Amino acid sequence: MTKPAMWCPAFLFNYLVEVGRPAICCAGRSEPERDLTRPEEDSSRKFMGQMMHSSKLAGWILAAAMALAAVPGMAQQNDGPILLPKPRPVAKPVTPSATLLVICDLACNWKLDGKERGRIAAGDSASAMVELGEHIVIATTEDGQDIIQQIAEVKAAGQKVVILALQPVRAARLKAEQDARDKAAQEAKAEQEAKDKSEREAREKAEKEALNNAALQQQKKEHEEHEQAALDEATGLVWVDSATGLMWTKTDNGKAVDWEEATAYCRNLELAGHSDWRLPTFAELEAIYDSGAKVKCGYGGFSVSCHIMGSIRLSSPLAWSCTSGREAGKIHMISFYTGASYNYSESSKRGSQTGAAITMRALCVRSLGEGTNKRTR
């Protein structure tokens, strides 16, 4: 398809000039003959003609200029689509921002809206540019045991200060841990005390039962011994003092002996089925002294009344005890004749009372339910 002829601006200008040229020529040719007799009038006409021709030429030139201005648009329509100028980019509105200043009382690592922002030294601070609105600030101690989170609401441009106090968080954690330890210790102590109490009660119960059993056994044994003692007493060999629970021989050894010999005699004595005889203490001898009782005692041509309970027959009113006297090497004794106490040497076999020489004897005793020999020094 053939494109329509395009108007060339240079061609149009030349065409206009050529079109105006004949008019000028023709105008010059059609002028009437000049009157030489009127030179001024002829010059005036000539000037006016030139002026008119110049005005027409100016009009043609103006029309040509206007046509030249319209030619690019016409050529654009003939050549293809119209190319529109590129639109200018629209500037985005500026979003207001602010500075977030974060202060941490302990050394920590912090995050802003979930993003790691680095480390803050104890008592130091860090800053970050943020948009207006809410922001989540999280700080964690370097040991990872304490954490704090705050929501910082930035309402206007400028600086927003956020203080992250980890010290109270740590103090609360340490207190909670200490409370937990104290509670565990108290529970352990209470558990141990309960266990100890249970064991103590069980032990006391066992001991009580053992004591009760022992007491029952002892009571049974004593009862049996009392029964046996009654039988023995019926034989006339022993006397049982029910007030003290002591069994006495009904007679002494029958001859003069020193303290060592008296002790050996009682230790080796076997009488009424018993072999746990011993010398009595001074207090035990004194306990069977009875001033109202009168039992003949003596040997050979010497005979006095002895004030002794149980109808015990003594061959001499002096009987050895196992109680030491006030002086070293001496034994505390009692006279069942006078009721007075004496101190005789352990090696002595004789003493004097009322001018008469009296020899010492061994009177033996045993405790019901006991099988021990005693000597009190």
Query: What is the pLDDT, as a whole number, of residue 170?
Result: 95
User: pLDDT digits over 254-277, tens only?
Assistant: 898 999 999 999 999 999 889 999
CA 140 to chain centre: 23
Please compute the mean of the pLDDT values over residues 285-302 and round it to a whole number: 84
Report the alpha-carbon distance of residue 159 to residue 181 in Å, rounded: 44
Please compute the mean of the pLDDT values over residues 186-191 and round it to a whole number: 94
Query: What is the pLDDT, as a whole number, of residue 281?
Result: 95
Q: How confident is the model at residue 113 (pLDDT cuts 50, 70, 90)?
A: very high
Query: What is the pLDDT, as a whole number, of residue 91?
Result: 60
Q: Return the CATH number of 97-170, one of 3.40.50.10860, 2.60.120.10, 3.40.1190.10, 2.60.40.10.
A: 2.60.40.10
User: pLDDT digits over 212-270, tens only?
Assistant: 888 888 888 777 766 666 666 666 789 999 899 999 999 999 898 999 999 999 999 99
Residue type at 301 in one-letter notation: G
Architecture of domain 229-367: Roll (3.10)
Cβ–Cβ < 8 Å for 230, 241: no
User: pLDDT digits over 37-48, tens only?
Assistant: 455 556 666 666
Closest CA to 249 of 18, 340, 235, 2: 235
Report the alpha-carbon distance of residue 53 to residue 73 in Å, rounded: 32
Please compute the mean of the pLDDT values over residues 90-100 and round it to a whole number: 77
Query: What is the pLDDT, as a whole number, of residue 51?
Result: 64
pTM: predicted TM-score of the whole model, two decimal places: 0.41
Residue 146 has pLDDT above 90, yes or no: yes
Query: What is the pLDDT, as a whole number, of residue 226?
Result: 65
> What are the residues whose beta carbons fall under 8 Å from the beta carbon of 307, sequence distance 6 or more?
289, 290, 291, 292, 293, 294, 295, 336, 337, 339
**Which carries the bigger pLDDT value, residue 17 or residue 134?**
134
Mean pLDDT taken over the chain: 80
Any idea of the CA torsion for 146, 149, 150, 154, to the nearest 10 degrees?
120
User: pLDDT digits over 3-16, tens only?
Assistant: 444 445 555 555 55
Closest CA to 130 of 164, 105, 108, 153: 153
Q: Is 56 helix (H, G, I), strand (E, B) or coil?
A: helix
Q: How confident is the model at residue 193 (pLDDT cuts 50, 70, 90)?
A: very high
Query: What is the pLDDT, as a whole number, of residue 41?
Result: 56
Query: What is the pLDDT, as a whole number, of residue 221?
Result: 75
Report the alpha-carbon distance of residue 349 to residue 318 in Å, rounded: 10
The secondary structure of residue 157, as a DSSP letter, is S
